[in-house]
Amino acid sequence: MARLVLKFGGTSVANVERIRNVARHVKREVDAGHEVAVVVSAMSGKTNELVAWVSEAAEPVAGVNAPGSPFDQAEYDAVVASGELVTAGLLAIVLKSMGIDARSWAGWQIPIHTDDAHGSARIAGIDGTAIVEGFARGQVAVVAGFQGVNPATGRVSTLGRGGSDTSAVALAAALKADRCDIYTDVDGVYTTDPRIAPKARRLDRISFEEMLEMASLGAKVLQVRSVEVAMVHGVKTYVRSSFDDPADPKLGTLICAEEDIVEQEVVTGIAFSRDEAQITLRKVADKPGVAASIFVPLAQASINVDMIIQVVSDDARHTDITFTVPSAEYKRAMAILQAASDEIGYGQIQGAEDVVKVSAIGVGMRSHHGVAARAFKGLAEKGINIRAITTSEIKFSVLIDEAYLELAVRTLHTLYGLDRKADTIAAE
């Protein structure tokens, strides 16, 4: 007998028919004698709809509220956490109709405690006592993902987009589960997003470090924090498909320690992010303190700056500084820099939103030289211009025009030998 946490994402619970299919996966594990806690996301599209309603409700209306009046982030959470409550209840109903004892749990009922960062709260602790008592009675716990409660205020909190992954892994850690299975609409972690590159290959295993980089650099298959929690607590986590036949299950991809991977490629995967915007300040005085005058105000506004490049201009008195910010912060960042133009002292400010970041990840980069250089050559041969580059121990990233995203991903995928064999593609 094992203790399992199973998580089902939005596409897997998109309607009642799919919830019935999820219930068949749960039943298989229950019939095998396992103790089971299930974490569910909202039906696909539901969280987007809820977020849009919050924005609409907060819009300025003449004579009603002032333009830009801030709304309470705790109310955002109160609204967006509702999607997961619906699917938790529906799955519990379906399980009971199949003769399986089950009940739904809201985050606050367990409770899952979080900090006070509404909208992107961090889990501070989970009391698994009541769920374990349920296991003793043979009861399946169906837990609403993505949410918790701030114990200081009693307000509902949410964990950031994609946060049900983190709910599941953190619950598995708290319950000391033998395994956490993240069921989604792909049958594992691939060398890159299979929606972009048809030759992407499923990985049997990927290390925590590489998965962390893949997720941070845009592979939305797992939320970044879920990988952190799995790594810190050593949770045995699989990514697998809910669309597999419940009677013929396959384990998918195991996220594990580097030592547990026998065959290690130099590059394990390619990730990309559309969530980038570029800002360039031209003719900035080349003197001490100028970088601080640009980046301190952005940091104070909680804007994350990612890639930074500084170019010395011909007269050695001026420089150009280029950097990237998340797309969602672009307008705010431009406004802050324009307001601070006198203190910074620049000739011109330019911005581009049609840029993307493409990254290659692999622990093999620690011991191999020239890995990034090959990419620069390969991209140049396809006529793809690189706007900025960053490298670190196990990854490098390039910023390019959005129009070249697919070509760049596929080019790097082929270049590093990640493509599936032609015969396996032909056989499909």
- Interacting residues toward ligand ASP by CB under 6 A: 9-10, 41-42, 47, 83, 145-146, 161-165
What whole-number distance in Å separates Cα of residue 350 and Cα of residue 323?
A: 11
CA 222-228-230 angle, to 5 degrees, is 80
- The interface partner of residue 189, options being Mg ion, ligand ADP, ligand ASP, none and the CB cut-off 5 to 8 Å by kind, is ligand ADP
Nearby residues of 239 by Cβ (< 8 Å), 6 or more positions away:
182, 184, 186, 188, 189, 221, 222, 252, 253, 255
Can you tell me which of 76, 108, 146, 190 binds ligand ADP, judged by CB under 6 A? 190
Q: Does 107 bind Mg ion (CB under 5 A)?
A: no
Can you tell me which of 162, 163, 188, 362 binds Mg ion, judged by CB under 5 A? 162
Can you tell me which of 3, 11, 216, 266 binds ligand ADP, judged by CB under 6 A? 11
Q: Does 91 bind ligand ADP (CB under 6 A)?
A: no
Footprint of Mg ion on 363-402 (CB under 5 A): none
- Do the beta carbons of residue 44 and residue 11 sit within 8 Å? yes
What whole-number distance in Å separates Cα of residue 7 and Cα of residue 2?
A: 16
Q: Does 10 bind ligand ADP (CB under 6 A)?
A: yes
Q: Among 303, 340, 347, 323, which Cα is nearest to 397's? A: 323
Say which DSSP state 109 is in. Answer: G
- Do the beta carbons of residue 211 and residue 255 sit within 8 Å? yes
Q: Does 362 bind Mg ion (CB under 5 A)?
A: no
Q: Does 189 bind ligand ADP (CB under 6 A)?
A: yes
Q: Among 332, 343, 288, which Cα is nearest to 310's? A: 288
Residue 367 burial class via C-beta count within 10 angstroms: exposed 0-12, middle 13-18, buried 19 and up: exposed
What is the closest distance, in whole angstroms, from the C-beta atom of residue 90 to ligand ADP in the complex?
Answer: 16
What whole-number distance in Å separates Cα of residue 207 and Cα of residue 231?
A: 9
Q: Does 218 bind Mg ion (CB under 5 A)?
A: no
Using the contact rule CB under 6 A, the part of the chain among 138-146, 184-192, 228-236, 360-368 near ligand ADP is 184-192
- The interface partner of residue 193, options being ligand ADP, Mg ion, ligand ASP, none and the CB cut-off 5 to 8 Å by kind, is ligand ADP
Can you tell me which of 221, 281, 290, 398 binds ligand ADP, judged by CB under 6 A? 221
CA 293-388-301 angle, to 5 degrees, is 35
Q: Which residue, 274 or 368, has its beta carbon nearer to ligand ADP? A: 274
CA 401-196-166 angle, to 5 degrees, is 100
Site mask for ligand ADP (CB under 6 A), range 35-54, x = bound? ------x-------------
- The interface partner of residue 148, options being ligand ADP, Mg ion, ligand ASP, none and the CB cut-off 5 to 8 Å by kind, is none
Q: Does 220 bind ligand ADP (CB under 6 A)?
A: yes
Task: Decide: helix, strand or coil at residue 170.
Answer: helix
Q: Which residue is nearest to ligand ADP (CB)?
A: 9
Residues that bind ligand ADP (CB under 6 A): 9-12, 41, 162, 184-186, 189-190, 192-193, 195, 214, 219-221, 269
Residues that bind Mg ion (CB under 5 A): 9, 162
